[in-house]
């Protein structure tokens, strides 16, 4: 949160940033002195989104910044500035054109992010001074987003199943939550067979981590995150290009951990259970084979059609266990299918839900907090695409049609009809640098879901 600081009353040391656009540039110019207007003309400043102009007083001291913005996109308006403006403290001028200054401040903070575990930051970001209530509102969201980014960006050698469990353990210690963990063959003894099957070939033992927090009398909330710390595809081996970024296949777990942190920090009146099945999908002599049949925790038999459809296998045992707690709401996050990216691209997580009201709430919240999602249907006639001739159903099938939907339909079989359930198939990654969205791990759908939890339980 170092890029945002509290603005003290009467503080005149920070430099004003005035947002403007082509439609308001003339009015902006009229507020400037003659030398500043001449400077704008000489530099060709036209208030295009992403542009900015530094304005000095008669002594040459920087006193104001004009930032060209798209007023409809507050989140991106200031996001490029923290690492491009001179290192100083700034504040947002009241004369600007943005409808949501708080969202612009959030964009500033997200744009200041740098992953510095393995190299020094390029520079220290400039700071934006905001009102105390704005800082209080934004600080948890920024911290949660940075947590997702840090976890996803960390290479698997330093973010394997044990390290992912350690992230949950640190979270539990911070909020005095209870932690439970099943590791290796303990998974079989505790009836988590699909988590064990996916992770048994790795030299790092698979595990299921459970964090519980809150009063037992409060409504139960279960959050599940796919924690495949690296995905080779198993014996159905991925290509080199397909495997290159598979350190990010624990992005669902990163989202779930960050959402749990937000819930606990906000002290929402819920009985929280966080479940992180953490594995590596590796290749070895004991690797899960195509054609195997596994009896899941829920009692369904599943034929392994494809070992690269492993995420739904670890999730199904975790969802079945979560459902046993009879939660008021169960949510899972997963970097589950390439099909969701083909359908919606990298920016829009696919949202599925078995209650229209809950799914509609998340979509609406996504629009409100600039964290968009797109709902896809649980089209049950497509269940036949996962038919098996020797088990109850398969984890995948030969058809390339509706891959995100069939994956969600697979998971739905492990959620009883009387449980309100949301499933987010998210990319958790930015392929290229954009303002406020640096290349690498990204939180997608996190703010939207948290906004719904605040509305429902806050």
At 318 the three-state DSSP class reads helix
312 flagged as catalytic: yes
Instruction: Report the number of secondary-structure helices (H) and strands (E) in the chain.
Output: 15, 20
Of 37, 238, 383, 434, which residue is the catalytic one? 238
238 flagged as catalytic: yes
Of 200, 226, 271, 312, which residue is the catalytic one? 312
Q: Which residue has the tokens 């539990």?
A: 172
Write the burial class of residue 283 (CB in 10 Å: 0-12 exposed, 13-18 middle, 19+ buried). Answer: middle
State which H helix or E strand residue 194 sits in.
helix 193-199
- Give the closest residue to 328 by CA, choosing from 419, 243, 265: 419
Radius of gyration of the chain (CA): 24
Which alpha helices (DSSP H) does 16-175 contain, by range? 25-30, 34-43, 74-77, 101-111, 132-153, 161-175
Displacement of CA 125 from its chain's centroid (Å): 23
At 64 the three-state DSSP class reads strand
Which letter does DSSP use for residue 407 in this model? H
d(CA 99, CA 106): 14
Both tokens of 232, joined, read 């080779």
- Just list the catalytic residues: 238, 312
């Amino acid at each position: 949160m170092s890029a945002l600081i509290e603005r003290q009353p009467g503080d005149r040391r920070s430099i004003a940033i005035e947002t403007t656009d082509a439609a308001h540039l003339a009015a902006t110019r009229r507020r400037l002195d003659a030398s500043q207007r001449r400077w704008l003309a000489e530099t060709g400043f036209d208030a295009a989104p992403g542009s900015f102009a530094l304005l000095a007083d008669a002594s040459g001291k920087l006193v104001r910044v004009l930032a060209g913005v798209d007023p409809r996109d507050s989140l991106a308006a200031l996001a490029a500035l923290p690492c491009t403006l001179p290192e100083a403290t700034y504040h947002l001028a009241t004369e600007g054109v943005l409808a949501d200054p708080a969202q612009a401040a959030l964009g500033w903070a997200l744009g200041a992010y740098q992953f510095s575990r393995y190299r020094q930051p390029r520079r220290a970001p400039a700071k934006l001074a905001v009102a105390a209530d704005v800082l209080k509102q934004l600080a948890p969201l920024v911290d949660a987003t940075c947590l997702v980014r840090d976890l996803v960006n960390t290479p698997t050698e330093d973010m394997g199943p044990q390290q992912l469990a350690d992230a949950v353990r640190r979270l539990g210690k911070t909020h005095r939550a209870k932690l439970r963990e099943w590791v290796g063959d303990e998974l079989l003894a505790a009836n988590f067979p699909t988590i064990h099957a996916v992770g048994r070939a790795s030299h790092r033992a698979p595990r299921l981590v459970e964090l519980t927090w809150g009063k037992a009398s409060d409504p139960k909330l279960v959050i599940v995150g796919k924690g495949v710390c690296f995905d080779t595809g198993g014996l159905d081996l991925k290509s080199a290009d397909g495997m290159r970024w598979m350190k990010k296949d624990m992005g669902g777990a990163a989202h779930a951990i960050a959402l749990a942190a937000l819930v606990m920090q906000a002290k929402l009146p819920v009985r929280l259970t966080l479940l992180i099945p953490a594995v590596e999908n590796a290749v070895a002599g004991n690797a899960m084979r195509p054609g195997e049949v596994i009896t899941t925790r829920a009692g369904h038999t599943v034929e392994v059609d494809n070992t690269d459809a492993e995420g739904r296998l670890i999730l199904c045992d975790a969802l079945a266990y979560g459902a046993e707690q009879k939660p008021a709401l169960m949510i899972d996050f997963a970097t589950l299918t390439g099909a969701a990216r083909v359908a919606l691209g990298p920016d829009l997580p696919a949202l599925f839900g078995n209650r229209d009201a809950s799914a509609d709430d998340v979509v609406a919240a996504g629009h409100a907090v600039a964290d968009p999602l797109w709902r896809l249907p649980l089209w049950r006639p497509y269940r036949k695409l996962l038919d098996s001739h020797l088990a109850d159903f398969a984890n995948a099938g030969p058809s390339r049609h509706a891959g995100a939907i069939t994956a969600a339909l697979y998971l739905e079989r492990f959620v009883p009809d009387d449980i309100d359930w949301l499933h987010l198939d998210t990319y958790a990654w930015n392929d290229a640098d954009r303002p406020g969205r640096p290349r690498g791990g990204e939180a997608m759908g996190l703010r939207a879901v948290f906004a719904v939890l605040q509305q429902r339980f806050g």
